[in-house]
Amino acid sequence: MKPITQENSRLGFAGIGYMGLPIARRLLESGFKLTAYDRNHNKSEQLIQYGGKVAQSVSELSSSCDVVLSCLPSEEAVQDIYIGPDGVFANAHRGSLAIDLSTVYPGTSGQLSRQGSEHGVEVLDVTISGSTPAAEKGLLTLFGGGNKECFDAAESIFRVIAQKYFYLGPSGSGATMKLVVNTLLGIGMQAIAEAVALGEKAGLDRNRLLDVLSQTAVVAPAHVGKLQRAMKSDYSPQFPIRLMNKDFGLILDLAAAVGARMPAASAAFEINARQSDEGAEQDFSAVILQMEKPAHLDSNGNGRT
């Protein structure tokens, strides 16, 4: 596959959400020709001011582009976009490339690759690590799976949206690596939430606790900003808790399939789900709120959430 450039390629982008919007905007600002599609046309129309075009359907999008990128919130949304008579595969030109940036089960990525091949479309699973601020600044980290030649050909896209990008192996490898990374992201946030609640309940000043904790070596860079926002009680979504909740489900499904024991992930999933079930559109760091709630005593007099 020849290298993708601003001059020789037309991009399509499906899914103009929390991450899709800043990614698509950066591609437009770097000189790529890009057409956007979202079921909510108001979202895709936000890109017109940056020089983007808007497609009214998936078939219109895929038939007018050489490369289709997608950034979607669920397995069902991904399959709806790609599969069926109105989907990407049925309407894309043979020799086209699809780059799915969504977080899905690795087996789903493999399925998409096989079905794309039947229509002459190469498919890469290129998953994203980073939240909206990183996307806005082009500082994401990407994990790629699929054909290595196609991954290399798409480097001009990756350089615009990411600080680092890694090729991991065949189809599904990018999806697997994303679940590995989000295991640490989710468990780490739960550990921080518990530590913060412990310090508060033991009498430490909340803001001083959060500030000092954010400056210690034990807090990962991905979590530092969460502590700083928690000082202002700002849990507006950068990475929504409902999506972390979905990812925990994928992580535990993969663990069951490969025989990996995940006791910490299972416990973190439970707390994450409890906060997510409250229904507010919050950042996944809102598990701090769940742990700050008063503990109840069980029949043995031990505290529990």
Structure tokens at 249: 């489900």
Cα distance between residue 68 and residue 37, in whole Å: 10
Q: How far is CA 65 from CA 70, 91, 156, 265, in A?
A: 13, 10, 16, 40
161: closest CA among 121, 124, 184, 129? 129
Cα distance between residue 222 and residue 284, in whole Å: 12
Q: In what helix (H) or strand (E) does residue 13 lie, and over which residues does it extend? A: strand 10-14
Structure tokens at 241: 């808790």
State the CB neighbour count (10 A cutoff) for residue 58: 24
Q: In three state form, how does the secondary structure of 76-132 look?
A: HHHHHHHCCCCCHHHHCCCCCEEEECCCCCHHHHHHHHHHHHHCCCEEEEEEEECCH
Cα distance between residue 210 and residue 285, in whole Å: 13
Burial 210-246 (b: 16+ CB within 10 A, else e): beebbeeeebeebbebbbebbeeeebebbbbbbbbbb
The alpha carbon dihedral of 116, 119, 122, 127 has a sign of negative
Cα distance between residue 187 and residue 80, in whole Å: 31
Structure tokens at 250: 């994928």
DSSP 226: H
- List, by residue number, the catalytic residues: 178
